[in-house]
Copies of this chain bind each other. A is one copy, B any other.
Amino acid sequence: MKLYEKLADEIAEAVRRGVFAAGERIPSVRQASQQHGVSIKTVLHAYALLESRGIVETRPQSGYFVRDGATAAVGGAGEPRLSRPAAPPIPPVAAAVDVSRLVLSTLRSIGAHDAVPFGSPYPDPSLFPWRRINQYANAIARRHSSWNLIDDLPPGNPELIRQIARRYAENGVPVDPGEIVITLGATEAINLSLQAVAKPGDTVAVESPTYYAMLHAIERLGMRAIEIATHPLDGIDVDALAEVIGRQKIAACMVMPNFQNPLGFRMPDARKRQLVELLAAHDIPVIENDVYQELYYGDTRPSTLKNFDTKGLVLHCASFSKSLTASYRIGWAMPGRYRAQVEKLKFLNTLTTPSVPQVAVADYLRQDGYDRHLRHVRKVYHQQASIMTAMVQRFFPAGTRMSAPQGGYVLWVELPERVDSMRVYQAALARSITVGPGMMFSTGDAFRNFIRLNYSYPWTAQTEAALKTLGELVARMA
């Protein structure tokens, strides 16, 4: 198959899955060229092919649009289609943040082990090599009778830091091992990074919807959040952000460029660069939550904001909780020019990250089973993304739209506008089914009719029955 045919098929598939709905513009030739890493000529070829198939049409001065009836042409169900960026109030207003009570009570109910875990934020641990990692931990605990708190003080265990740095270097991310600070999960990395660059009362720009861990960090320090329109495929709207920056003081920006939770997009390189450059021009630090970096679909690993950072303004945060072991709580920060502050705050906040888990993970990484594990997990998640997408199409009522995840393991589902996802959440819980209500992902109620679904667990008859039940609940409320 020729490259332009492959690209045309990919876009046709996106139309089929509702990523681009009838009447919507598909990426410009230049955008598509950057996103897919192909020449302008290849894109022009692909678009001509799509046009000849009746899937897109050109409009003068405007670009390429999905034709009415195109979904029939590609075999899709017409609905659901891609959720669109929430229109923020104009001008957007910084809001005090108080979302943690809802998140905690949601997580608590999800914690009931017999519930169907569509609402879980965590990957199915059964895919994870926890047995091997526990073996390393046991061996270490036996070896070091006198292990105590003074071992592996901040910045952390040197061998673990070396292993993390090696992985970044191998993946083309510029890294100085001396920059890495080990933390208690990405949660602490994000908290400390934000504390290093902003103070109570400051305003922080976030995506909309945004991952609630970002909102928690803002809430913890008594800052304010301003939500920036975010495209479900391309990420934060850099122009909208520029406009906000022109109008008011923004102390920091927090984003999740790769496989954002909940939208699942992979921000194109050009847009990552544009974002970093905009913020650099205003000397605004950006906290990058990259916990899903290893869970990409397809063959190409995503870049990070660090790849485009020339001024040390990117505070990159990540962890092994979503890709290796959640229970060990090993995360890290690469805080650029704020490295000294983050290390100090780590020491003040929790003194040290426990040693044995640090060394156990380092031992595991050195044995080189990690890449094999990741290849397997990526394949499974990618397959399960297709299943979940198809099943939502099948069981949910007309008017339902959804995201097109490019990595990770969550689907963002926009329900018909009348549906209140908190009511869905309650009704589902009564049937031992959990969902993530959209209200967790914003300071306001723009996502009142959205839910997040976790598809990391194996698809079983029970899962399917639960999703059917969920679809019926939603249909009744629509």
CA distance A348 to B187 in the complex (A): 8
Is the contact region of chain A dominated by helix, strand, or loop, or is it mixed?
Answer: helix
- With A101-B344, A200-B199, A354-B327 as known contacts, state yes or no: A349 contacts B150, CB within 8 Å: no
- Which residues of chain B are near A321, meaning CB under 8 Å? 149
Q: Could you say which of A73-81, A102-110, A283-291 contacts chain B?
A: A102-110
Cβ of A376 within 8 Å of any chain B Cβ, yes or no, is: no
Please pick, from B120, B149, B220, B350, the residue contacting A345 in the complex, using a CB distance under 8 A. Answer: B220
Cβ of A188 within 8 Å of any chain B Cβ, yes or no, is: yes
Cβ of A148 within 8 Å of any chain B Cβ, yes or no, is: yes
Shortest Cβ distance from A471 into chain B, in angstroms? 25
CA distance A146 to B128 in the complex (A): 9
Contact between B328 and A191 (Cβ–Cβ < 8 Å)?
Answer: no
- Which residues of chain B are near A329, meaning CB under 8 Å? 149, 350, 354
- Which residues of chain B are near A344, meaning CB under 8 Å? 100-101, 104
Cβ of A147 within 8 Å of any chain B Cβ, yes or no, is: yes
- Which residues of chain B are near A148, meaning CB under 8 Å? 122, 125, 326-327
Q: Contact flags (1/0) for A129-150 with B, using CB distance below 8 Å?
A: 0110010011001100111111
Central interface residue in A110, A130, A131, by most chain B CB within 10 Å? A130
Contact between A125 and B108 (Cβ–Cβ < 8 Å)?
Answer: no
CA distance A126 to B146 in the complex (A): 6
- Which residues of chain B are near A147, meaning CB under 8 Å? 125, 130, 327
Question: For residues 386 through 420 of chain A, which have their beta carbon under 8 Å from a beta carbon of chain B?
Answer: none
- Which residues of chain B are near A100, meaning CB under 8 Å? 344, 347-348
CA distance A138 to B135 in the complex (A): 9
Shortest Cβ distance from A342 into chain B, in angstroms? 13
- Which residues of chain B are near A222, meaning CB under 8 Å? 199
- Which residues of chain B are near A354, meaning CB under 8 Å? 327-329, 354, 357
CA distance A107 to B185 in the complex (A): 23
**Nearest chain-B residue to A149 (Cβ)?**
B326
Cβ of A355 within 8 Å of any chain B Cβ, yes or no, is: yes
Shortest Cβ distance from A99 into chain B, in angstroms? 10
**Nearest chain-B residue to A120 (Cβ)?**
B150
- With A100-B348, A154-B104, A216-B348 as known contacts, state yes or no: A138 contacts B134, CB within 8 Å: yes
Contact between B219 and A350 (Cβ–Cβ < 8 Å)?
Answer: no
The 5 A-B residue pairs with the shortest CB-CB distance in the complex, in nearest-first order: A220-B348, A111-B150, A134-B141, A187-B351, A125-B146
Can you offer 20 A-B residue contacts whose CB atoms are under 8 A?
Answer: A100-B344, A104-B347, A107-B153, A111-B150, A125-B146, A125-B148, A126-B145, A130-B141, A149-B321, A187-B349, A187-B351, A188-B350, A191-B348, A216-B348, A220-B349, A327-B354, A327-B356, A328-B354, A329-B350, A354-B354
Listed in ascending order, the chain A residues whose CB lies under 8 Å from chain B are 100-101, 103-104, 107-108, 110-111, 113, 120, 122, 124-126, 130-131, 134, 137-138, 141-142, 145-151, 153-154, 184-185, 187-188, 191, 199-200, 216-217, 219-220, 222, 321, 326-329, 344-345, 347-351, 354-357
